[in-house]
């Protein structure tokens, strides 16, 4: 006989909790206490709720589940980057990264267990997508990385980027709900302006972000500035081509006025010529983008590209700057622990 599936208590609203407590003959304010433990105090189980009686905690544990993430392993890079491997309640693994610089402490979080998009240069793309992360699991990642940040650097997180494992816009509802809880005053209280959601390019969902009038920033993983090359390394481009993405980004900006960034990894002898730079400039001029992040390629096992030499990279950057493109070269962090852009694959620490 199958065990009864308990309701995840973190999936109840405050009013649903109030109804539950009233029905069991408890005072209504208990609901507020539990809700605060879940979100404001970031409890990871009923035993953490120390201002509730043991009897009440036992009742809650019998009625509800509380499937929180836990830290499985933590790796520290020579450059200060910290990669955490998190374990879900049923034993899946995901990774998140703390990226520290002098002026900011950024959490790079995952939205799915694995990924379905198969981008050729990304280690996660070679994994099967097991499932979407729930909004409380995404919240746990931020909370746990923040704890790691406070322990290592005595500072709270300043920024969050959805650039870890998975495609955030294919887990739309959970990502939106997680951001609502992360930015809520009775949650983590972070400013939405300090959150960036990165997408490989799902045009329909970029437009939905605009319709929903979101307040966070958007980054598009472009990585090639014509459809032929983009199809080669990002199969999603076959159904979401550059023209569709340009239209969607313009719609998003018109609806929200929010900052848009292009992400562009340089691959040797593939997208690093001045002709490629020209094509990138043309796209940049068609979208109200604030910035182009030029990213160093980080080698992975399955993909046979290399990064261009410093001279070629400098020539590409200089060409963009000469043509008034606001471009920044993003040096990789955490390469020695497979924590850099595109390297997240749940490798066991050695």
CB 295 within 8 A of CB 330: yes
User: CA–CA separation, 68 vs 35, rounded Å?
Assistant: 15
Alpha helices in 198-339 (DSSP H): 203-211, 227-233, 242-256, 274-286, 310-322
Pairing of strands 64-65, 7-8: parallel
User: CA–CA separation, 107 vs 110, rounded Å?
Assistant: 10
Q: Which residue is catalytic, options 108, 119, 122, 341?
A: 341
Selection from 35, 93, 38, 30 nearest residue 66 by Cα: 38
CB 85 within 8 A of CB 72: yes
Residue 69, CA distances (Å) to 72, 123, 171, 242 in order: 9, 22, 18, 37
Active site residue 18: no
CB 277 within 8 A of CB 236: no
171 burial (CB, 10 Å; 0-12 / 13-18 / 19+) is buried
DSSP assigned state of 149 = H
Active site residue 95: yes
CB 340 within 8 A of CB 298: yes
Token duo for residue 230? 């983009």
Q: Which residue is catalytic, options 95, 137, 167, 263?
A: 95
Give strand pairing partners of 86. 71, 94
Residue 136, CA distances (Å) to 148, 181, 287 in order: 18, 9, 34
Q: Going by C-beta distance under 8 Å and a sequence separation of 6 or more, which residues neighbour residue 338?
A: 83, 123, 344, 345, 347
Token duo for residue 194? 């300090």
Which of the residues are catalytic? 95, 341
């Amino acid at each position: 006989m199958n065990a009864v599936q308990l309701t995840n208590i973190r999936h109840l609203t405050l009013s649903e909790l109030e109804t539950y407590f009233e029905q069991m003959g408890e005072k209504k304010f208990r609901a507020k206490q539990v809700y605060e433990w879940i979100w404001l105090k970031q409890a990871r189980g009923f035993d953490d709720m120390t201002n509730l009686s043991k009897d009440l905690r036992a009742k809650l544990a019998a009625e509800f589940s509380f499937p929180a993430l836990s830290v499985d392993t933590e790796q520290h890079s020579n450059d200060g980057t910290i990669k955490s491997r998190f374990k879900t309640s049923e034993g899946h693994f995901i990774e998140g990264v703390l990226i520290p610089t002098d002026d900011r402490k950024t959490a790079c979080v995952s939205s799915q267990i694995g990924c379905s998009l198969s981008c050729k240069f990304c280690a996660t793309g070679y994994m099967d997508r097991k499932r979407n992360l729930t909004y409380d699991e995404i919240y746990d990642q931020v909370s746990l990385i923040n704890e790691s940040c406070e322990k290592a650097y005595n500072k709270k997180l300043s920024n969050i980027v959805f650039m870890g494992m998975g495609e955030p816009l294919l887990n739309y509802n959970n990502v939106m709900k997680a951001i609502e809880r992360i930015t809520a005053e009775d949650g983590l209280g972070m400013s939405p302006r300090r959150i960036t959601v990165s997408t490989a390019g799902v045009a329909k969902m970029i437009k939905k972000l605009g319709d929903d009038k979101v307040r966070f920033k958007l980054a598009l993983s472009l990585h090639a500035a014509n459809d032929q090359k983009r199809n080669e390394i990002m199969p999603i481009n076959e159904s979401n081509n550059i023209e569709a993405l340009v239209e969607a980004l313009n719609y998003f900006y018109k609806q929200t006025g929010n900052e848009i960034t292009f992400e562009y990894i340089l691959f040797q002898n593939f997208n690093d010529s001045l002709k490629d730079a020209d094509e990138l400039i043309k796209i940049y001029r068609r979208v109200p983008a604030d910035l182009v992040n030029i990213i160093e390629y980080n080698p992975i096992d399955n993909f046979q590209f290399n990064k261009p030499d410093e001279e070629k990279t400098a020539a590409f950057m200089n060409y963009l700057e000469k043509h008034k493109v606001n471009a920044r070269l993003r040096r990789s962090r955490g390469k020695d622990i497979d924590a850099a852009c595109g390297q997240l694959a749940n490798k066991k620490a050695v």
